[in-house]
C-alpha cells in the first residue's frame, strides 16, 4: 500500500463496494446524471492516481498523456473500446474490465429481445394496454417460432456461449462463427432465423453487419445486437427493415447512444430498441462494481489486476 491516492469515479455505482475505496482513498465520484464532459474527465484525470470509468467515458491517448499520476484505469464494463489500451500500455498503465459478472445477464437479455421481437411482445402489450383488445383474434400478432429455429451466433466468447446454452434449451440449431471466417459468416447469415452479435468493437468488427451482410439474411430473419452499436451499419439496417430485406431487429446498443430522436432508424418498421441494459440486473451491476473496485485497488498497490484486459503486455 503506497498511502492515500486520489481516485476519480465517473458515476455513483450500484452496490456497497465503492465504500471500500471511499474508506481508504480520496474518492471523488462525479455527481452528474450525465457523464462528465471530455474536458472535465481530462481535468479530473490529470489530478488522479486511478480512474474508474464507464463505457460512456472516452479515455484516449491525449487524456492519458496529460495524466502523469495515473496508475490504473478500471472500466465498469466488459467492453473497453472507449479506452485507448495501446496508449495506456505504452504509459505502463494497466486497464481493467469486468468480465464474467455480466455474462448470464447479457445472455438473458439477448433471449428476451429475441423472443420479444419474434413474438411481437412490445406491440401486443401496447395494443392490450391501449384498449384495442376486443376479442381473441385468430390472425392477430402472428410471429416467428423460436423453438426449433436456427440461431446464428456471431462471436463465441463468454456471452456468445451463454446464448448458445440457452438456445439448446429451446431446441434450436446453433450456428456460430468468428468474424475472421468470412465463408462461415456468410453461411450463418444465409441460414439463420435469428442472428445475434456477440463481438467486441474493434477496427475489424466495425460495420461488419453492412448492406451486403444484411442482404444475405433471410427475409424472415431477425437481427439481435447486444454487443456494440457500431458493429451494425445503421443506415443499412434502416434500409433493410424498410424494404423487408429482413423481418426485424432488436437492439440493446446503437450508434450513437442514445440514438438521437430524429434518427431515420426510429422510422424503421419492426424495430425494438432498449437503452443498453444487457447487464442491468442487481447482481451483475453490483458484481461489476466489486470487480472494478478490486481492479483499482490492485493497480494502486502495484499488483496485477484481477481482471486486466487481454491484449496488454508489459515488460
Q: How many helices (H) and strands (E) does the chain have?
A: 11, 11
Least separation in angstroms between residue 2's CB and ligand DGY is 29
Query: With 0-12 CB in 10 A as exposed, 13-18 as middle and 19+ as buried, what is 229?
Result: middle
* Count of residues near ligand DGY by CB under 6 A: 7
CB 220 within 8 A of CB 243: no
Q: How far apart are the first and last CA of the chain?
A: 22
Among 55, 249, 292, 296, binds ligand DGY (CB under 6 A): 55
Q: Residue 207 CB, nearest distance to ligand DGY (Å)?
A: 18
Give the number of C-alpha atoms closer than 13 A to the C-alpha of residue 5, restricted to the C-beta side.
23
Please tell me which residue in 25, 234, 276, 287 is annotated as part of the active site: 276
Single out the catalytic residue among 228, 234, 285, 287.
Answer: 228
Stretch that binds ligand DGY, among 42-50, 71-79, 117-125, 139-147 (CB under 6 A): 71-79
107 touches ligand DGY (CB under 6 A): no
187 flagged as catalytic: no
Our CB check for ligand DGY shows the closer of 144 and 274 to be 274
Taking CB atoms within 8 Å and a gap of at least 24, the contacts of 135-143 are 143/118, 143/119
257 is catalytic: yes
Measured from the CB atom, the residue of 102 and 213 that comes closer to ligand DGY is 102
Helix (H), strand (E) at residue 114: helix 103-118
**Could you say which of 123, 173, 257, 286 is catalytic?**
257
Running DSSP on this structure, what letter comes out for residue 300? Answer: H
Least distance between ligand DGY and beta carbon 64 (Å):
20
Smallest separation, CB 226 to ligand DGY (Å): 8
DSSP three-state, residue 313: coil
CA pair distance 61, 238, nearest whole angstrom: 34
Give me the least distance between CB of 186 and ligand DGY, in Å please.
27
Binding pattern to ligand DGY, positions 244-283, x when CB under 6 A? ----------------------------------xx----
Q: Which residues does residue 150 pair with via DSSP β-bridges, in sequence order?
A: 173
3-state SS, one letter per residue, for 155-194: CCCHHHHHHHHHHHHCCCEEEEECCCCHHHHHHHHHHCCE
Q: What angle do CA 274, 239, 204 make, to 5 degrees?
A: 70
Query: In this chain, which of 5, 21, 77, 163 binds ligand DGY, going by CB under 6 A?
Result: 77
CB closer to ligand DGY, 78 vs 222: 78
Contact (Cβ atoms closer than 8 angstroms) between residue 179 and residue 154: yes
Residue 165 annotated to the active site: no
Residue closer to ligand DGY, measured from CB, 5 or 78: 78
Contacting residues toward ligand DGY, per CB under 6 A: 55, 77-79, 102, 278-279
Q: Which residues are catalytic?
A: 228, 257, 276
Amino acid at each position: 500500500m503506497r498511502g492515500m491516492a486520489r481516485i476519480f469515479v465517473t458515476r455513483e455505482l450500484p452496490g456497497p463496494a465503492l465504500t471500500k475505496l471511499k474508506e481508504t482513498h480520496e474518492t471523488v465520484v462525479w455527481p452528474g446524471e450525465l457523464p462528465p464532459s471530455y474536458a472535465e474527465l481530462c481535468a479530473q484525470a490529470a489530478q488522479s492516481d486511478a480512474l474508474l470509468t464507464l463505457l460512456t467515458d472516452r479515455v484516449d491517448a491525449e487524456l492519458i498523456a496529460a495524466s502523469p499520476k495515473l496508475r490504473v484505469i478500471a472500466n465498469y464494463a466488459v467492453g473497453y473500446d472507449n479506452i485507448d489500451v495501446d496508449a495506456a500500455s505504452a504509459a505502463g498503465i494497466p486497464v481493467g474490465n469486468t468480465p464474467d459478472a455480466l455474462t448470464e445477464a447479457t445472455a438473458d437479455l439477448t433471449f428476451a429481445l429475441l423472443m420479444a421481437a419474434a413474438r411481437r411482445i412490445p406491440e401486443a402489450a401496447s395494443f392490450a394496454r391501449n384498449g384495442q383488445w376486443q376479442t381473441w383474434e385468430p390472425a392477430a400478432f402472428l410471429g416467428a417460432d423460436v423453438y426449433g429455429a436456427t440461431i446464428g451466433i456471431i462471436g463465441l466468447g463468454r456471452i456468445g456461449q451463454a446464448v448458445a446454452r440457452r438456445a439448446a434449451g429451446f431446441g434450436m440449431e446453433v450456428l456460430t462463427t468468428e468474424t475472421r471466417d468470412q465463408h462461415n459468416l456468410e453461411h450463418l447469415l444465409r441460414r439463420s432465423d435469428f442472428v445475434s452479435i456477440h463481438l467486441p468493437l474493434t477496427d475489424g468488427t466495425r460495420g461488419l453487419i453492412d448492406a451486403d451482410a444484411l442482404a444475405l439474411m433471410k427475409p424472415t430473419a431477425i437481427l439481435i445486437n447486444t454487443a456494440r452499436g457500431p458493429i451494425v451499419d445503421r443506415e443499412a439496417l434502416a434500409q433493410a427493415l424498410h424494404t423487408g430485406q429482413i423481418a426485424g431487429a432488436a437492439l440493446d446498443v446503437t450508434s450513437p447512444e442514445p440514438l438521437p430522436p430524429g434518427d431515420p432508424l426510429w422510422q424503421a418498421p419492426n424495430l425494438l430498441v432498449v437503452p443498453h441494459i444487457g447487464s442491468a440486473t442487481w447482481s451483475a451491476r453490483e458484481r461489476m462494481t466489486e470487480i472494478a473496485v478490486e481492479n483499482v485497488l490492485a493497480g494502486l498497490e502495484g499488483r496485477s489486476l484481477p481482471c486486466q484486459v487481454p491484449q496488454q503486455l508489459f515488460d
